Amino acid sequence: MTPTLPPVADSAELRRLRADTARWLPVARDIVRGHGYGEAPLAPFAAGTNLVAAIGDGAILKIFPAILHGRFRSEQATLRLLGGRVGAVDTPELQHAGERDGWSYLIMTRLHGIPAAQVWPQLPEDGKQHLLRQLGRLIAAMHRVPPGDLLALEPRWPDFLQAQIAGCHARHTRLGLPERLLAELDDLLRDAAAWLRTDTPPVILTGEYIPENFLVARDGDGWRVSGLFDFGDVMTGRGEYDLLGPSAFMAAGHAGRVRALFEGYGLAPSAIDWRLKRRLLVLMMLHRASDPVRHIAIPDWPAKVSSFDQLQALIWPDGS
């Protein structure tokens, strides 16, 4: 009897299915056999959103439910566009795509390297700055890739901004943004459209340049960014959006780290002014994963600010 994948209605059902590998690994084995991988061993990944398994040492199978079909389309289109490489950094190469039981799947090459999340906490300060400078260069290289068919993906940047602005106050109330900042949020949002008007061509955005989504490899006595993966949230829009993850999770208010990230990205010191920081702050509040209380890696930051002006100065300090 041919194994099948059950439908899932929401993320909670998907998590339960992902944890119960006996329910989906037989389907995964059937898929990879059908693409010529024979009896290659499958090793499921416990983390992540979708059903993901390594196929031996050389490939990855990622299976998307119907409720996340948009992520499948984004990842498939991005993998096709990047062709396995962005500058000196590897990205997965798309091998196969298909559908099974209302689910969609991709088979791609497996990248080799160490997850940056395993290395970042132990790096000395100069090592952190070195890695952030490389990350800035990688983001800039990605933004130079013509977005092609990605321009047709939903959401379009103006629609994304409109939806995020509409739900922003409720979101941050629910997530516990300090009351003194909530009191200023409507004023910030009222000016958001003017701050973020589309006056530059849209670029490829992943929104997730954080240690969990890139790999590193030894480079002499230090480390280099060697691989970038996970393109399910890709869209197109204003490039500064991609500076938010490394700003919040990695730079964490250290002037030298912020400077390294911005230098790598190609921003001259004269460009790092109050207006840039205000645009970044607005984008941070509108980010699809925005949760400043938990994501800004500055210890006890809510006790250190009483306004958005002070918050942006804390995250992107003068001298950056």
Q: Is a pLDDT exceeding 70 seen at residue 198?
A: no
Q: 287 with 241: CB under 8 angstroms? A: yes
Query: Is residue 53 classed as helix, strand or coil in its secondary structure?
Result: strand
What DSSP state is assigned to residue 6? P
pLDDT tens digits, 297-306: 999 999 999 9
pTM above 0.85, yes or no: yes
Share of the chain above pLDDT 90, in %: 88
Q: 251 with 312: CB under 8 angstroms? A: no
Beta bridge partners of residue 204, listed in sequence order: 236
pLDDT tens digits, 84-103: 788 889 999 999 999 999 99
Q: Which tokens is 168 given?
A: 């922003």
Tell me what pLDDT residue 172 has.
98
Residue 17 CB-half CA count within 13 A: 23
pLDDT tens digits, 126-184: 999 999 999 999 999 999 999 999 999 999 998 999 999 999 999 999 999 999 999 99
239-261 in b/e burial notation, b at 16+ Cβ within 10 A? bbbbbbbbbbbbbbbbebbbbbb
pLDDT tens digits, 27-61: 999 999 999 999 999 999 988 899 999 999 999 99
